[in-house]
Amino acid sequence: MKRVLFLCTHNSARSQMAEALLRHLSGGRFRVLSAGTRPTAVHPVALTVMQEIGIDISGQRSKDVGVYVQDSFDYLITVCDQAREECPIFPAARRQLHWSLPDPSAADGDELARLAAFRRVRDDLATRIGEFIAGAEP
């Protein structure tokens, strides 16, 4: 089973959604984890927008990337520019990919505007993950 680590700064939204989406869309074909360079907590709006598409991430938690530095991964995917710059060396990662996605938790505006920002990132991730699954080495 291929191992994938999604990495962002806070491990609160983008990487959490990516982790759940890959697990769900691949039917469990990948061993998927996520972490942050400066983890906080799973963002409540990420919980909401994932629930909208039938994926429950309430059991996920933010983790520090240091926990996984010595582990081997087939893919290390950074989902924000800051994490890419701060990413520690993963000598046992076979491939590193970078998906530059805006931070939905930094969106300005009212509740509807914030929901829209999270939905855009969720949907962008779903598209990228679908393409990733189709192109991933068997």
- Residues catalogued as catalytic: 8, 80, 87
Q: Is 109 helix (H, G, I), strand (E, B) or coil?
A: coil
Encoded tokens for 65: 């990337």
Give dist(CA 99, CA 130) in Å, integer. 14
Sheet holding 73-78, edge to edge: 30-36, 2-8, 73-78, 93-98
Give dist(CA 24, CA 110) in Å, integer. 30
